[in-house]
Chains A and B, each alone.
Chain A
Amino acid sequence: MSRIARRFEQLRAEGRTALIPFVTAGDPNPATTLELMRAMVAAGADLIELGVPFSDPIADGPVIQRATERALAGGMSLDGVLALVRTFRAEDRHTPVVLMGYLNPIEVMGYESFAAAARDAGVDGALIVDVPPEEGHGLVATLKEHGIDLVYLLAPTSTESRIARIGEVASGFVYYVSVKGVTGAGHLDTGAVAERLAAIRKCIALPVGVGFGIKDAETAGRVAAVADAVIVGSAIVERIEALAADAPSIPGAIGDFLSTLRAALDASDARLAEEEPA
């Protein structure tokens, strides 16, 4: 069983919703990212999504794009991201790490080299934003061989047949994009999300995380009532940006923010437990 599957099994047993923070690796510098990963775990993160910076992030909004530019300006690369994970993994054997990024840097490294290096560094999953199942053949097979889970996005525009198709290749969990738009966009409609999650769960047995558009504890709490995991990216990266000039303060500040999200998730989980006693 993969580290991601184990983590979700444990959360399910405890009746808890997973909190998954996203940060761009190397924003504003690699040392801060490492400190941040530790601080996020301490503040209640169950799984960490690390953005692999790419020069042309078409699925990301301005906040994460700027983070990407800061990280690239600081020399971050796919190799650099793997080195960060390796260091993190040496001290934390339980918190799964998922890389989120775009295909081209992986193409340049080579599928086999990437999969082997990622596995070796302690990466647990990969979400390659611009690779739908239709184009994934070689990559999917190679990552699976190396035991790396393939996390896929599902969108409000995904048809039933697409959901089923993604269900065939996805592992670990699936990531429902709660708004039409890029990361950090728009306003999240919890009712609509609940409806879509029900449709997804009919086709896919994996845990379902919800992200894009979760900006604060209040929204996180509402989403926690329907999702297995709450994924928060732009709201964190925005705070990192505001503190970029004072990097040492970032881990503490983000830890504090995550604690408020964690509390909202816990409160939602407690309400659910009262409504449906086990």
Chain B
Amino acid sequence: MAITADDLRAQRAAYDLPDAGGHFGPYGGIFVPETLMHPLEELREAYERFRADPDFLAELDADLRDYVGRPSPLYHAARWSRELGGAQIYLKREDLNHTGAHKVNNTIGQALLARRMGKRRIIAETGAGQHGVATATVAARLGLTCVVYMGEVDVARQEANVYRMKLLGAEVVPVRSGSRTLKDALNEAMRDWVTNIDDTFYIIGTVAGPHPYPMMVRDFQTVIGREARAQMLERTGRLPDALVACVGGGSNAIGLFHPFIEDAEVAIIGVEAAGEGLASGHHAAPLCAGKPGVLHGNRTYLMEDAHGQIVETHSISAGLDYPGVGPEHAWLKDSGRARYVSVTDDEALAAFHHLTRTEGIIPALESSHALAEAHKLAPTLSPEQSILINLSGRGDKDMHTVAQHDGWAA
């Protein structure tokens, strides 16, 4: 799609999103019970105060450097690129972060904010367990009490992460309501927050939820895109032709995309989980196959039935198994600035194996969805062109799932 100079100006003028009420065009906002309205206002005020505070930012930067290991490397996957036969593929190695994924960029930011707000108890929801681990990790380091809500189904399929959280001193609460996955864990965490508002800080793990979460989580995650943009320029002398990232709630994707939004020549591609295929109905691809609605405090694309009930999702990757998506992605889709596609379980698994065998990097199943899209995209581009993929997490946590799928384990 050709973007004109006028479009670009309009986008620049428009791209100071969200507005004061947390809206990205018609999406986002604050759709919560009255009990949460004032606490969200307090959070927004605190966040806006601290994000302009040099002392807070210096503390955050130091932690990202010394504790997380940032900047994360930009890796030219030369062998994999050659095999795919087309564009040069660069991987932003968020898998090398402490705790193994991009999630920690956000939990450090929010935990530091919690401490400055005087909140001593941290709660979080988790799907694959990566956000739960990243939250338990920073809570341990800051000496904060930590409770993580996790759907019972996810507890079963991400056993290793449950154990890690417990080792780190967190209480893991299995959620048995609804579909017993990420969305239900989020419901339960919100209930906890409503009940314990005075001393509790809710660290949401993705760019969803009510304002200011989509904005705040995005801001903490844009370190990915800011680093990657500078690294690409330094390494190749130009910007990449395309960005690719997987989208569940969409925090790793928005973290990569956001600093490139005004670079009209860079194509932006988000990859949702098509599960067993969009036609099967067993997927987690609200942007590709859902409709706008309201869930978990914001308006966005959702997977729902004809009566507005949220439906169960399916993806081999627990981290993408969510029926909604961050409202900024909904806006980027409608505005045409980003394109959203989907990749099936099988395609993601094939990419998982391919990267592992050609580069010696075992990716998370979530990130494997982005890799699978590169399988399709790279051959359509020339070797002079480049694709920047967010390798958002490592695959250690997925060993059991993959082994089971390949018939190596029960």
Contacts and interface: CB of A to CB of B under 8 A. Distances in A.
A205 B187 CA distance: 34
A11 interface: no
B191 A61 contact: yes
B294 A103 contact: yes
Interface string A52-65: 01111111011001
Given A55-B309, A58-B187, A185-B195, A129 B177 contact: no
Contacts of A107: 292-294, 308
Contact of A155 (B30, B34, B198, B292): B34
Interface string B29-45: 11111111111000000
A140 B136 CA distance: 42
Given A55-B310, A134-B30, A157 B195 contact: no
Contacts, number: 127
A158 B194 contact: no
A62 B177 contact: yes
Given A69-B178, A72-B309, A78-B307, A58 B296 contact: yes
Nearest to B293: A104
Contact of B31 (A78, A109, A131): A131
B336 interface: no
A129 B194 CA distance: 13
B29 A135 contact: yes
Contacts of B33: 58-59, 129-130, 153, 155, 177
Contact of A182 (B195, B296, B297): B195
Chain B binding surface, main DSSP class: mixed
B304 interface: yes
A104 B294 contact: yes
A132 interface: yes
A104 B304 contact: yes
A74 interface: no
B409 interface: no
B190 A58 contact: yes
A106 interface: yes
B34 A177 contact: yes
Given A55-B178, A56-B178, A182 B194 contact: yes
A56 B151 CA distance: 14
A163 to B, nearest CB: 10
Nearest to A128: B31
B306 interface: yes
Given A57-B187, A181-B194, A104 B29 contact: no
A274 to B, nearest CB: 35
B358 to A, nearest CB: 41
B357 to A, nearest CB: 41
A175 B17 CA distance: 34
B63 to A, nearest CB: 31
Best-buried of A56, A154, A182 by chain B (most CB within 10 Å): A56
Nearest to A76: B307
A13 interface: no
A181 B30 CA distance: 18
A155 B32 CA distance: 12
B200 to A, nearest CB: 11
Contacts of B309: 53-55, 72, 77, 104-105
Contacts of B35: 59, 153, 155-157, 177, 180-181
A263 B311 CA distance: 43
Nearest to B195: A181
Contacts of A152: 34
24 contacts: A55-B178, A56-B183, A56-B295, A56-B296, A58-B33, A58-B191, A58-B296, A58-B297, A61-B191, A69-B177, A79-B307, A103-B31, A103-B294, A104-B294, A104-B310, A105-B308, A107-B293, A132-B32, A135-B30, A156-B35, A162-B38, A181-B35, A185-B195, A186-B195
The 8 closest A-B CB pairs, nearest first, are A108-B308, A105-B308, A181-B195, A155-B35, A59-B33, A77-B307, A153-B34, A157-B38
